[in-house]
């Protein structure tokens, strides 16, 4: 590759906390390991690809350029950070003859091969992963304009028209003395500008903080926040999120609570931290969040109301509480003047209760019901069932307000037929078992 002129960056890099050189490297010899951002928006990558094709690469990809010993330490650190099993064999070696650094000759910036000719260097992307994937897409698929004009082409054809350098070479910022922890801190700082999903960022902050405290047991959240250029509140929330039960964290990753899943999970964390609910009560809140997928602000108000009731002496909360959605939905009833809003609240609780009981059924059939301390044991299951029956009894009369005029008669008939049966079953569940009538829930 011939030397190519380029306007040098302002300054000599002295403002950067770590020494670096500007250079060129072939895109496909750069290594990409797991980092803070686990998922990438395909439309966002395509949009960035279009931008690079039109204006070129504005900010260099930041690369750790390492000896085998440095690379081994780096890979071990990343493995510990993300609980993986990376080894040096998992990354490509970089031929220094393919690496060019920017120099100034006769007042002009040019690129020359690195003077280090040893064939044992490794280049790992530290910052600029979105740029890397956008440029990879540009090389392999081309920009939209070239696709429309030329159709399907061989890889690199579009690149040759738009990019400043040939043979997949890209501008990089080379760090040859960047310790692994500092490399991660640099990576986290960049993600402040293009934030990954909240749960991914929380996991990243918590993992790095744990490793940082292993290096320095005296490290505080405040000091760590400064190192990664985040607020203390952000780090505190991250640590609390990662202390949640694994099931709730999995729910957030899957978006089980709706668009505001992370905010809902943080309210569940607040509930746990403040009230220390028993497992079955926490599970009822979780199931309700899955069933309803409420707005984060509404869910926050409900958690606040529950905490206030608890502190006021009323410790009943969760799916067993008929007013669990009261403050939010009764406000809707008053505003809209429709009982269908109340019906919706009851149906939501019915759904959550049904989910609870459907999960308890296998335990009941296998004889595992009846062991205190388990999620499903006789007292809690009977209580939920009893409350579910009570909710059904409240709901059926309201069907007449919610259904079409032609079906109101049918709704009333359902209520007249079923409510006595529900009352009878509820009475049966409340009656202590006798010798003639054994406890159906005993193991």
Residue 236 reports pLDDT greater than 90:
yes
Average pLDDT over residues 123-132: 91
Q: Is the pLDDT of residue 12 over 50?
A: no
Q: What is the pTM of this model?
A: 0.60
The mean predicted confidence, pLDDT, of the chain is 75
For residues 196 and 117, which has the higher predicted lDDT (pLDDT)? Answer: 196
**Per-residue confidence band for 184, with pLDDT thresholds at 50, 70 and 90:** confident
H or E segment and range at residue 21? strand 21-26
Q: State the pLDDT confidence band at 314, using cuts at 50, 70 and 90.
A: very low
- CB 72 within 8 Å of CB 143: no
As given in the structure block, the two tokens for residue 81 are 């950070």
pLDDT tens-place string over residues 217-228: 999 999 999 888
Q: Which helix (H) or strand (E) holds 122?
A: strand 121-127
Q: Which residue has the higher pLDDT, 220 or 100?
A: 220
The confidence score (pLDDT) of residue 420 equals: 63
pLDDT value at residue 376: 45
Q: Which long-range contacts (CB under 8 A, 24 or more apart) does 270-273 make?
A: 270/303, 270/307, 271/303, 271/306, 271/307, 272/244, 273/240
Residue 427's pLDDT is what? 57
């Amino acid at each position: 590759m011939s030397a190519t002129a380029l306007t040098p960056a302002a300054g000599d890099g002295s403002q950067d906390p770590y020494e670096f050189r500007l250079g060129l490297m072939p895109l496909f010899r750069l290594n990409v390991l797991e980092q803070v951002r686990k998922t990438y928006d395909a439309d966002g990558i395509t949009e960035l690809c279009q931008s690079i094709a039109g204006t070129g690469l504005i900010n260099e990809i930041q690369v750790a350029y390492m000896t085998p010993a440095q690379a081994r330490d780096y890979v071990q650190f990343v493995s510990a950070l993300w609980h993986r099993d990376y080894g040096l064999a998992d990354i490509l070696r970089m031929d220094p003859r393919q690496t060019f650094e920017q120099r100034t000759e006769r007042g002009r910036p040019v690129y020359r091969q690195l003077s280090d000719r040893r064939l044992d260097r490794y280049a790992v992307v530290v910052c600029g992963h979105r740029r890397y994937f956008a440029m990879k897409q540009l090389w392999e698929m081309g920009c939209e304009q070239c696709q429309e004009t030329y159709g399907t082409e061989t890889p690199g054809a579009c690149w040759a028209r738009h990019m400043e350098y040939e043979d997949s070479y890209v501008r990089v910022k080379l760090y040859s003395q960047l310790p692994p922890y500092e490399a991660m801190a640099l990576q986290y700082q960049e993600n402040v500008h293009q934030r990954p999903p909240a749960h991914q960022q929380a996991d990243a902050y918590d993992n790095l903080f744990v490793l940082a405290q292993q290096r320095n047991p005296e490290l505080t959240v405040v000091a760590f926040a400064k190192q990664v250029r985040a607020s203390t509140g952000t780090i505190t929330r991250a640590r609390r999120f990662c202390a949640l039960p694994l099931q709730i964290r999995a729910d957030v990753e899957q978006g089980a609570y709706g668009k505001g899943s992370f905010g809902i999970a943080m309210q569940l964390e607040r509930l746990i931290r403040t009230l220390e609910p028993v497992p079955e009560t926490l599970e009822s809140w979780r199931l309700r969040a899955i069933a309803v997928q409420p707005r984060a602000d509404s869910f926050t108000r409900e958690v606040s109301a529950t905490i206030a009731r608890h502190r006021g002496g009323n410790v009943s909360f969760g799916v067993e509480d008929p007013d669990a959605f009261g403050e939010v939905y009764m406000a809707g009833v008053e505003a809209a003047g429709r009982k269908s809003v109340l019906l919706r609240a009851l149906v939501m609780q019915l759904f959550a209760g049904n989910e609870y009981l459907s999960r308890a059924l296998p335990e009941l059939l296998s004889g595992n019901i009846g062991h205190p301390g388990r999620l499903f044991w006789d007292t809690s299951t009977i209580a939920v069932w009893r409350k579910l029956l009570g909710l059904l009894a409240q709901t059926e009369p309201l069907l007449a307000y919610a259904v079409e005029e032609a079906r109101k008669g049918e709704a009333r008939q359902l209520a007249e037929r079923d409510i006595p049966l529900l009352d009878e079953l509820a009475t049966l569940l409340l009656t202590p078992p006798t010798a003639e009538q054994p406890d159906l829930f005993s193991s």
